[in-house]
Structure formats: C-alpha cells, structure tokens
Amino acid sequence: MSIRKTYFRSIIGLLVLLISQNQLKAQHIDNQYFTFESSFFSFEKDSLPYRYILPKKTSLNNKIPLLLFLHGSGERGNDNQKQLVHGSKYFAKAMRDKKLSALLVFPQCAKGDYWANVDRKVHENGSLSFNFKSEGAPTKSMILLNGLIDSLAQLDYIDKSRIYVGGLSMGGMGTFELLWRRPEVFAAAFPICGGGNTESVKSFNSNTAVWIFHGEADSVVLPSFSINMFKNMQQADMPVKLSLYPEYDHNVWEAVFQDQEFLEWLFSKRK
C-alpha cells in the first residue's frame, strides 16, 4: 500500500473525528448568513483554525453539501481571520441570495507551511518556479486539513456524495494535491491559478468534475501549470474544463466570482 493511502487510513482515528464533530455541533448553528463562526481542528499537538457558515435550517432529513475553500500563501497564519480575505463574501452572499444550503468552510494554513508538497524557488528577477511532487509525505497543514475533512464528512447532516473543494494560488495547488491524495472524497473541484504534478493525474478519480481557472497574463503562477494539468486530465477522460482569461494576471479569482454559471455547475455535481 502506498505512503499516502497508509497514512490517511491510519492517522485519523475515531476519537479525533468525534472530538471535531462535537466541537462543530457546539457552535451556533442558527446563525446569520454573513457570520463566519470560529473553530479549529486539533490533532496531537497541532491545530488548524477554520471559519465556517452553517445554514440556519439544517436537519437530518435534508442533508447538505460540504464546500471547502483553500486560501493563498498571503493569508497564512493563525489569526483565523486572513483566510476570509478572498471569496468569503462571494460565497456567503451566494448562499443568501441564491438560497444555497451548504456547510461552507475556510481553513487557515499555518505561516511558513504550504497546502501542497511543492518546492518553491524565488529567482533573482523576482519570478517564481514550482516543483510539484507526486509522492512523499503531506505537509503538516495538509495532514490537518485531511483530518478536518474526515471529521466534517462524519457529521450527520453532510451529504457525502456532494463534497466540494477549491482554492486560489497556493489553495489551487492544494486542491490538485487533494485530488490525488483523496480521490474517493470529492464530487467536484475548482483549482484557481494553481498547478500540480501532471503524473499525479493517474491517481485522480475519473468521475470527479473539475473546472480549472487561470489568468493568461499570470506572472506569479504561470498558466502553463493549469494548462498541462488540464491536458493530462483530458487524456484521462475526466470531466474537466479550463477557463483562461487573457486580461487577468494572478487575481483571476475576481473573474471566477463574476461567472454566473460557476456555482450552478458546482452544486449540480454528485459522486
């Protein structure tokens, strides 16, 4: 059995799942749409802060999707606030205006850590290069993130056939990595201006729907990273599509959050 499968099936024990599940239930479920409640997932001596919104009406008879959004490198820390800079108002407003029901979760990666297992190099001219790994142990934040995902998926009111993940920049890279570390979990994913190791596509679930976004003028993470992942996923006959925006640099998430079809596409997907 591979390192990644051995790890994920053994390290997250039942006790940890129950602790996190009870913790979330103890929060205010009957909240307002724009109020992100604060919580954290703990494992051994480490913890992962996260913010969440749970719809006002949640019942066991009407299970809801789980949607996780992964922030970029600039929002790392432990204040449990900065990860809400991009995307939180968009998703919260959509849940209110479009009356979407989902458990919306924004975890926060620790400062100095990364969602994905990737070597990043800053060159003299300020440009960045990335070496994405297709094997090896997950980062500490990825370990905690997967523990959080497992714990939330155990909640009675979560529809396990509708678990979604996406993110921007570093979060887009983390999204691609989750698709190969946890291919059995997600119904759909949306990596934004990210990238991944093309060899890892061999481990993706061929039924997971993926919509990739990238700005063609991106000077931080080159669009070729997304394009190459898209081509390999196409060859693997995955339900994948790619949207490139010629006028956008690294801030392409602004265009994504204006796309009228995006959320309709996302919430229509099931495993």
- pLDDT tens digits, one per residue of 74-117: 999 999 999 999 999 999 988 888 888 899 999 999 999 999 99
Q: Is the pLDDT of residue 32 over 90?
A: no
How far CA 218 is from CA of 15, 169, 213, in Å, comes to: 44, 11, 11
Query: Which residue from 197, 195, 175, 194 is spatially nearest to 186, judged by alpha carbons?
Result: 175
Q: CB count, 10 Å around CB of 78?
A: 14
- Quick one: average pLDDT of 240-250? 97
What CATH class does 3-267 carry?
Answer: alpha beta
Strands in 116-172 per DSSP E: 118-122, 128-132, 158-168
Q: Is the pLDDT of residue 201 over 80?
A: yes
Strands in the chain per DSSP E: 37-43, 46-53, 64-70, 103-107, 118-122, 128-132, 158-168, 188-192, 209-215, 240-245
Euclidean distance between CA atoms 241 and 159, whole angstroms: 25
pLDDT, one tens digit per residue, over 114-165 is 999 999 888 776 668 899 988 889 999 999 999 999 999 999 999 999 999 9
